[in-house]
Amino acid sequence: MAALAGSSSAATPTTSSARFRRFIRPPPSQLHFTRARFSVKAACPFFSDNNNSLPQNVVVSKPSPLELLKTAAADRYTKEKSCIVCIGLNIHSAPVEMREKLAIPEDRWPQVIEELCALNHIEEAAVLSTCNRMEIYVVALSQHRGVKEVTDWMSKVSGLSIPELREHQVLLYNADAANHLFEVAAGLDSLVLGEGQILAQVKQVVKAGQGVPGFDRKISGLFKQAISVGKRVRTETNISSGSVSVSSAAVELAQMKLPDSSFADSGVLVVGSGKMGKLVIKHLAAKGCKKMVVVNRSEEKVKAIQRELKDVEIVFRPISEMLECAAEADVIFTSTACESPLFTVENVQKLPLASHGRRRLFVDISIPRNVEAGVSDLETALVYNVDDLKEVVAANKEDRLQKAAEAREIIMEELNKFEAWKDSLETTPTIKKFRAYVERIRASEMEKCLSKMGNDVSKEQKDAIYALSMGIMNKVLHGPMQHLRCDHKNNNSQGEVLENMRAINRMYDLDTEVSLLEEKIRDKMERAKK
């Protein structure tokens, strides 16, 4: 498990020796001297600031090992900060067999956000589930507890064991998590470098999250910034020019496997006419396929494609006739959101041989898969899924490596902007607490002043004293407030602002981060009990 976050921008690994020291040392408040009846409040548990030894008649009551465990955990807990975490599986880390078990349909994203935010240490959440990845982005009030809770949730909904998940997990924190999402939106982390469809999927995350409790300021800000990054990269680098999508790579793969690399003499069936299916149909048309059958639940989407591609014969068939159509097809593309296989070993075995005695070619780009895994073992079928597209993609990758380097420079600029914005949010609680602290002093001193002046003070005099006290307070606050803001209106760097925030917290004992963290977690736990 990763160490606790040491900064707002990235997790700082904690050495084993540091963890050990933190674990065994009780906080000073736990050390009581029974005879003298006082407690030591010094950096070292057994020495005061002024003495290097204890009085001879003082006996130290040592805490039990259980107390040490509890206090060490609490000490470590209050030193944590909330952080952004990316946790999940993608095409680079896990095979399709695992990814499909965690795939979440788009219409369930809002429900999943609410489920995740019901966990004790998760404050905000978002889900990005595509054929290439299922990644969860959260704001965790406690880094290691949040990761544990999300991992347990993933294990529960997928049936995958926690060791399995940990072996294949993508696990990133703060700036690394933001950088990863920006690369995803820019098409740099896709199977197909520069893929355009992923940006539309990132936009859909924002659309699905609107108004959902838990899709709040930090996570929505992260995804909106990712959309800006994706647009800017595609505009300024042309990384998408000449690139292919998963759908086009699927068509190219099928073409490579056909005799003469042509669809001219092959019966083509497309199952599903959603976003991916529509792209498959368009790429088939671009590759010279003049006739195809499209099986779908409704005819409306197919008619729209027919109107768009007037030079191609597109025949609609209902889903009930899918196996009939498959019996006449040589190449079958599947891209539906169906959660169980459409083509099983049993029904594929019953299909006749493809034309010219060839093996029937299935190209399945759905997650979960539409073609049962065992079909690939049949002598009459060849089955390819999204993980098999790499051989097609490799040929296109070299041409865009330079554009990818340019894209990463843009991503770094945008990442710095996002981190500055996120860090500026951290100063808000300090600003509120500091203002409240000074206001309490002002009100108290004004009350003392009025009490000394007796009962003969007129309303005009009270108003004048009030205005005087407010004027002094606002002038005193002006300087600190200016240095606690990190925006375009001043020249403060995010590092300076955060240092100013920590200094204010230390000088006035505001304990902003710890108190807010404890308050949020306590509130979530109380709600969970109801």
pLDDT at residue 281 in the model: 94
Q: Indicate whether 442 pLDDT > 60.
A: yes
pLDDT at residue 421 in the model: 80
The length of the chain is 530
CATH class of 246-394: alpha beta
Q: Which of the residue ranges 14-28, 344-358, 493-507 would you say has the lowest mean pLDDT?
A: 14-28
Q: State the pLDDT confidence band at 38, using cuts at 50, 70 and 90.
A: very low
Residues identified as active-site: 131
Residue 368: cis peptide before it, omega within 30 degrees of 0: yes
pLDDT at residue 294 in the model: 97
| Helices 174-186, 197-209: crossing angle, 10 deg rounding | 120
CA-CA distance, 358 to 50, in Å (whole number)?
91
Q: What is the bridge-based pairing of β-strands 170-173 and 268-271?
A: unpaired
Residue pair 271/335 in contact (Cβ under 8 Å)? The answer is yes
CA-CA distance, 136 to 450, in Å (whole number)?
58
What spatial distance separates the first Cα and last Cα of the chain, rounded to whole Å? 31
pLDDT at residue 517 in the model: 52
CA-CA distance, 145 to 69, in Å (whole number)?
16
232 CA to centre of own chain:
21
Domain-wise residue ranges, the chain? 66-237, 246-394, 487-529
pLDDT at residue 314 in the model: 96
Question: Which residue has tokens 């002598």?
Answer: 379
Q: Coil, helix or strand for 129?
A: strand
Q: Averaging pLDDT over each range in 255-259, 366-370, 496-500, which range is the top one?
A: 366-370
**Residue 125 burial by Cβ neighbours in a 10 Å radius (0-12, 13-18, 19+):** buried
CA-CA distance, 229 to 10, in Å (whole number)?
20
247-297 pLDDT tens trace: 888 998 999 888 888 898 899 999 999 989 999 999 999 888 999 999 999
pLDDT at residue 381 in the model: 95
Q: Indicate whether 145 pLDDT > 80.
A: yes
What average pLDDT does this structure show over 70-77?
44
pTM value is: 0.63
| Short-list 150, 168, 156, CA closest to 84 | 150
Q: State the pLDDT confidence band at 328, using cuts at 50, 70 and 90.
A: very high
Q: State the pLDDT confidence band at 3, using cuts at 50, 70 and 90.
A: very low
The mean of the pLDDT values for the chain is 80
What average pLDDT does this structure show over 412-438?
80
CATH class of 66-237: alpha beta
CA-CA distance, 451 to 431, in Å (whole number)?
30
Q: What is the bridge-based pairing of β-strands 83-90 and 170-173?
A: antiparallel
CA-CA distance, 320 to 366, in Å (whole number)?
19
CA-CA distance, 241 to 234, in Å (whole number)?
9
Q: Indicate whether 55 pLDDT > 80.
A: no
CA-CA distance, 351 to 360, in Å (whole number)?
9
* The token pair that represents 341 in the structure block: 């296989």
193 CA to centre of own chain:
21
Quote the strand ranges of 252-399, DSSP E.
268-271, 291-296, 313-318, 331-334, 360-364, 381-385
Backbone phi and psi for residue 122, each to the nearest 5 degrees, phi listed first? -110, 120
Of all residues in the chain, the percent with pLDDT exceeding 70 is 75
